[in-house]
């Protein structure tokens, strides 16, 4: 590629989602001249926020986990993770009652529901030691070996739905057990009082202080690949295309879009096949609503028992009242369709979710419905469900993917995306050191 008057950076990152922002912060901190290009006019991708009638409404992630690689990334660029941890972060909501399991955990929950609790707890303990079931077994199949109790099955389905945006019949059992025994599992989390976008604005500010150039409303049109090596990108700037040279390109656009941006013919055939055949995007339905009357006493996230589709719900203003105009309580409820990894009728599935909300909260019909968003297709809840992730390497030298289609096995959420960024940037830095 003719260098000419092209702009030049050590690294270009495509997309300012969780993975792209964390990669940018880490690259800038490591001393790479880094350009982050985002096609939208805001940061955060599927974990961003918008303003609706004076309410700060989150599009995707709300619960941000302190600690781990995620918070470490903020600290690297000198930023504090601005979250408020609710007094009771996590509870179940069974028969319209809040069930606090924060002290007794799994044994307290299962002990009251099934005589088979001991067997299930034994298997969970085995998983903790690394003894996992066969990967072909779904979480529902695994559980059915020990109990047929409907409430227990409903709770497991809603945990799968709340964390992985899929049904227990769709999630490989080892992925479920890995997450709950070895990963964060949202034991602790908080909400950002400025909406989740506030956390990304802080991370971007830290990255900029370390020299990163972050440009919004600048879509990448193509990735330049020559002789099996990434050479840079072409961007749309105003009404013109411009080439930008870089030896490292990190894509947060998801493997499918990355393949299209680079041209499938420029990737190894096996990688193109994996992108076509292995990815399993997961869907959910997000219902943001507000009520003058409090509808839920628990201040954090609750997971439901027997429902049609509703899986969990957050009471945002209990800890972050500034998310809503005075006198209002802001909630977000999540429902997972059946199937979540295949095609479904969005209208029917949404109606099931709304029926669940009416049933669980008699005051729901008086609430103000702010938005109902079906996350699917090219803007899903997870670009690939846990257990169906692709490698971060694309088979093209200098080109990696980050984000929620290339997670470590059994991981989930923004923490998992931050981890993908660390793993890729560690490789990039190691390659520079040895070059
Ligand atoms: C409803 C919902 C609730 C969730 N709840 C939680 C939660 O509570 N806690 C949690 O930790 N996680 C949660 N998650 C998961 C989490 O939000 C996602 O896994 C994560 O945000 C995905 O980040 P990502 O790195 O894959 O990037 P993405 O969010 O996919 O961002 C990619 C960015 O790339 C940009 N882009 C794409 N193509 C181009 C291009 N050609 N040029 C320039 N830019 C481009 C896009 O515009 C986008 O901004 C939730 C997700 C959803 C949808």
In a domain, 311, yes or no: no
Number of domains present in the structure of the chain:
2
In a domain, 1, yes or no: no
Q: Are residues 273 and 397 both part of a single domain?
A: yes
Q: Are residues 204 and 273 both part of a single domain?
A: yes
Q: Are residues 154 and 202 both part of a single domain?
A: no
What pLDDT was estimated at residue 4? 65
Q: What are the CA-CA distances from residue 36 to residues 43, 197, 221 (Å)?
A: 11, 16, 14
- The rounded Å distance from CA 160 to ligand 1 centre is 19
In a domain, 375, yes or no: no
What pLDDT was estimated at residue 413? 92
Q: Check if 16 has its Cβ closer than 6 Å to any atom of ligand 1.
A: yes
Q: Are residues 68 and 129 both part of a single domain?
A: no
**Best residue for ligand 1 mutational test, from 71, 414, 421 (most atoms within 8 Å of Cβ):** 414
In a domain, 269, yes or no: yes
The CATH code of the domain that includes 208 is 3.50.50.60
In a domain, 118, yes or no: yes
Q: Are residues 274 and 405 both part of a single domain?
A: yes
Q: Which residue's alpha carbon is at the smallest distance from atom 48 of ligand 1?
A: 45
Q: What are the CA-CA distances from residue 67 to residues 7, 71, 79, 352, 398 (Å)?
A: 37, 5, 13, 36, 29
Q: Are residues 262 and 407 both part of a single domain?
A: yes
Q: What is the pLDDT of residues 395-409, one digit of tens each?
A: 999 999 999 999 999
Residue 141 CA to residue 34 CA, distance in Å, equals: 46
- The rounded Å distance from CA 411 to ligand 1 centre is 15
Dihedral sign computed on CA atoms, order 248, 249, 252, 256: negative
Q: Are residues 200 and 253 both part of a single domain?
A: yes
The CATH code of the domain that includes 166 is 1.10.405
Q: What are the CA-CA distances from residue 63 to residues 78, 181, 393, 413 (Å)?
A: 21, 19, 28, 9
Q: Which residue's alpha carbon is at the smallest distance from atom 37 of ligand 1?
A: 253
Last residue of a domain, one of 157, 182, 207: 182
In a domain, 56, yes or no: no
Q: Check if 199 has its Cβ closer than 6 Å to any atom of ligand 1.
A: no
What pLDDT was estimated at residue 384? 97
Q: Which domain holds residue 427?
A: 7-48+62-73+194-278+389-434
Q: Which residues of the chain have pLDDT under 50?
A: 1-2
Asked whether the whole model's pTM tops 0.85, one would answer: yes
- The rounded Å distance from CA 378 to ligand 1 centre is 11
Q: Are residues 268 and 141 both part of a single domain?
A: no
Q: Check if 413 has its Cβ closer than 6 Å to any atom of ligand 1.
A: yes
In a domain, 415, yes or no: yes
Last residue of a domain, one of 149, 182, 215: 182
Residue 303 CA to residue 324 CA, distance in Å, equals: 23
Q: Which atom of ligand 1 is nearest to the CA of 20?
A: 25
Q: Is the peptide bond before 130 cis (omega within 30 degrees of 0)?
A: no
Two tokens at 113? 């529901």
Q: What is the pLDDT of residues 232-275, one digit of tens each?
A: 999 988 888 999 999 999 999 999 999 999 999 999 999 999 99
Last residue of a domain, one of 123, 152, 182: 182
Q: Are residues 152 and 224 both part of a single domain?
A: no
Q: Check if 333 has its Cβ closer than 6 Å to any atom of ligand 1.
A: no
Q: Check if 61 has its Cβ closer than 6 Å to any atom of ligand 1.
A: yes
Q: Which atom of ligand 1 is nearest to the CA of 251?
A: 34
SS3 assignment for the chain: CCCCCCEEEEEEEECCCHHHHHHHHHHHHCCCCEEEECCCCCCCHHHCEEEECCEEEECCCCCECCCHHHHHHHHHCCCCCCCECCCCCEEEEECCEEECCCCCHHHHHHHCCCCCHHHHHHHHHHHHCCCCCCCCCEHHHHHHCCCCCHHHHHHHHHHHHHHHCCCCCCCEHHHHHHHHHHCCCCCCCEECCCCHHHHHHHHHHHHHHCCCEEECCCCEEEEEEECCEEEEEEEEECCEEEEEEEEEEEECCCHHHHHHHHCHHHCCHHHHHHHHHCCCCECEEEEEEEECCCCCCCCCEEEECCCCCEEEEEECCCCCHHHCCCCCEEEEEEECCCCCCCCCCHHHHHHHHHHHHHHHCCCHHHCEEEEEEEEECCECCECCCCCCCCCCECCCECEEECCCCCCCCCCCHHHHHHHHHHHHHHHHHHHHHHC
Q: Which residue's alpha carbon is at the smallest distance from atom 10 of ligand 1?
A: 413
What pLDDT was estimated at residue 45? 98
Residue 195 CA to residue 16 CA, distance in Å, equals: 16
Name the nearest CA neighbour of 375 among 60, 45, 13: 60
Q: Are residues 270 and 398 both part of a single domain?
A: yes
Q: Are residues 66 and 133 both part of a single domain?
A: no
Q: Are residues 168 and 225 both part of a single domain?
A: no
- The rounded Å distance from CA 323 to ligand 1 centre is 21
In a domain, 202, yes or no: yes
Q: Which atom of ligand 1 is nearest to the CA of 37?
A: 43
- The rounded Å distance from CA 326 to ligand 1 centre is 30
Contact 93, 200 (CB under 8 A): no
Burial readout 250-279 (b: 16 or more C-beta within 10 A, e: otherwise): bbbbbbbbbbebbeeebbeeebbebbeeeb
């Amino acid at each position: 590629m003719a260098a000419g008057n092209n702009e030049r950076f050590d690294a270009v990152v495509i997309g300012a989602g969780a993975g792209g922002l964390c990669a940018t912060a880490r690259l800038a901190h490591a001393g790479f001249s880094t350009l982050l290009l985002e096609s939208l006019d805001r940061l955060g991708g599927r974990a961003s926020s918008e303003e609706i009638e004076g309410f700060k409404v989150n599009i995707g992630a709300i619960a941000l986990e302190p600690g781990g690689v995620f918070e470490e990334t903020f600290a690297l660029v000198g930023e504090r993770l601005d979250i408020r941890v609710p007094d009771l972060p996590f509870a179940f909501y069974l028969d319209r009652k809040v069930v606090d399991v924060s002290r007794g955990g799994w044994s307290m929950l299962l002990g009251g529901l099934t005589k088979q609790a001991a067997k299930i707890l034994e298997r969970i303990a085995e998983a903790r030691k690394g003894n996992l079931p066969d990967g072909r077994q779904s979480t529902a199949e695994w559980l059915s070996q020990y109990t047929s109790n409907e409430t227990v099955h409903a709770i497991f389905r809603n945990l799968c739905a709340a964390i992985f945006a899929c049904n227990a019949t769709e999630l490989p059992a080892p992925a479920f057990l890995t997450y709950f025994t070895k990963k964060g599992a949202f034991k602790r989390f908080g909400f950002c009082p400025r909406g989740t976008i506030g956390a990304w604005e802080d991370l971007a500010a830290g990255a900029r202080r370390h020299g990163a150039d972050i440009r919004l409303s600048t879509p990448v049109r193509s990735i330049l690949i020559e002789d099996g090596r990434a050479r840079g990108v072409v961007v749309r700037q105003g009404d013109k295309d411009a080439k930008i040279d870089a030896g490292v390109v990190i894509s947060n656009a998801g493997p499918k879009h990355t393949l299209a941006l680079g041209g499938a013919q420029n990737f190894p055939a096996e990688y193109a096949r994996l992108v076509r055949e292995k990815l399993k995007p997961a869907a959910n339905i997000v219902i943001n609503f507000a009520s003058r009357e409090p509808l839920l006493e628990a201040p954090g996230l609750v997971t439901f028992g027997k429902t049609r589709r509703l899986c969990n719900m957050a009471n945002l203003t209990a800890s972050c009242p500034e998310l809503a105009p005075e006198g209002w309580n802001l909630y977000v409820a999540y429902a997972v369709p059946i199937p979540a990894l295949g095609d479904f009728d969005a209208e029917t599935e949404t109606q099931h979710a709304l029926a669940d909300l009416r049933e669980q909260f008699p005051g729901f019909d008086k609430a103000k419905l702010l938005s109902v968003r079906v996350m699917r297709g090219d803007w899903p809840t997870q670009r690939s469900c846990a257990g169906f992730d692709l490698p971060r390497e694309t088979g093209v030298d200098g080109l990696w993917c980050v984000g929620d289609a290339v997670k470590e096995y059994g991981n989930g959420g923004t923490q998992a995306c931050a981890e993908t960024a660390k793993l890729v940037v560690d490789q990039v830095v190691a390659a520079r050191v040895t070059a």
